[in-house]
C-alpha cells in the first residue's frame, strides 16, 4: 500500500474499517479550508508568519471569525446538513480550544470530500475523520471545482523522493 495512504490511516484509524476513496494527488498547494472555499490555488490560514491567504484583515480561527471569512465568499450558517438541490454545504470542525481545525464539503450524493493536510483529497462519510469536533454547517449555491487530474497508478512525487532517500548511500552520494 502506498506510504501516504498508510500515514493517512494512522492519523484516522477509522478509515481502515470503512469505505473511502482517494480523489487527488498529494499537494501542499491548498488545504482543507481552501478546498472547502473552492480555491485550489491558495493555502487558506489566518495568523501565520509569513502570512498565508485569508480573506479578512482580522486573523484568527475562532468560529465567529471563520464564519465572517466564509461569508465573504457567499456562505451562511445552516442548522444541519440536509442536502438541498443546487446548494453546497461545508461542515466545520473545531479542536479542543474551539479553534477551527478542519472543513469538509458535501457532494451532491450526500458524501463528503476533504483535503487531508499536505496529502490528498478523499471522499468519505462525515464521522470517519479524526479532525476534531463537528461544530457547524455553512451553505451557498454550488460551484464547480476544477480538481487536478489523478491517476491512481502513479506514485506521489514526494514519496518517490523519500524512497530514493531511503535507498541508501549510493543515491545519497550521487545526490549531494
Partner 1 sequence: MTAPYPPICDVREVNHRKYSEVAMRLTEFLRKGSSAAHAERLVNELRGRRSDGANNSSVKERFEHLAQRWRTETDGYSMVRKKIQHHDYQEIIGELGYQAVPLILRELKLRGGHWYHALSLLTAENPIPPELAGDVPAMRECWLQWGRSRGLVDSE
Nearer to partner 1, 14 or 87 (CB): 14
Asked whether 54 and 44 are in contact (CB, 8 A), the reply is: yes
Nearer to partner 1, 8 or 91 (CB): 8
CB of 119 to partner 1, least distance (A): 6
Nearer to partner 1, 95 or 107 (CB): 95
CB of 118 to partner 1, least distance (A): 5
CB of 165 to partner 1, least distance (A): 7
**Which residues form the interface with partner 1 (CB under 8 A)?**
4, 7-8, 11-12, 28-34, 41-45, 47-54, 61, 101-102, 115-119, 131, 157-158, 161-162, 165, 176
Three cell numbers at 29?
Answer: 498547494
Nearer to partner 1, 34 or 89 (CB): 34
CB of 82 to partner 1, least distance (A): 25
Amino acid at each position: 500500500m502506498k506510504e501516504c495512504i498508510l500515514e493517512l490511516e494512522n492519523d484516522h484509524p477509522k478509515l481502515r474499517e470503512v469505505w473511502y476513496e482517494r480523489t487527488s494527488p498529494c499537494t501542499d498547494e491548498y488545504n482543507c479550508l481552501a478546498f472547502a472555499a473552492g480555491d485550489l490555488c491558495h493555502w487558506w490560514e489566518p495568523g501565520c508568519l509569513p502570512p498565508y491567504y485569508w480573506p479578512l484583515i482580522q486573523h484568527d480561527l475562532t468560529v465567529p471569525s471563520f464564519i465572517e471569512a466564509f461569508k465573504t465568499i457567499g456562505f451562511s450558517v445552516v442548522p444541519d446538513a440536509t442536502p438541498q438541490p443546487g446548494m453546497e454545504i461545508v461542515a466545520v470542525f473545531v479542536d479542543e480550544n474551539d479553534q477551527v481545525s478542519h472543513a469538509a464539503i458535501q457532494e451532491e450524493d450526500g458524501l463528503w470530500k476533504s483535503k487531508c493536510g499536505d496529502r490528498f483529497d478523499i471522499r468519505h462519510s462525515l464521522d470517519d475523520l479524526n479532525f476534531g469536533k463537528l461544530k457547524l454547517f455553512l451553505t451557498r449555491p454550488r460551484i464547480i471545482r476544477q480538481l487536478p487530474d489523478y491517476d491512481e497508478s502513479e506514485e506521489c512525487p514526494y514519496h518517490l523522493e523519500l524512497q530514493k532517500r531511503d535507498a541508501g548511500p549510493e543515491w545519497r552520494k550521487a545526490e549531494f
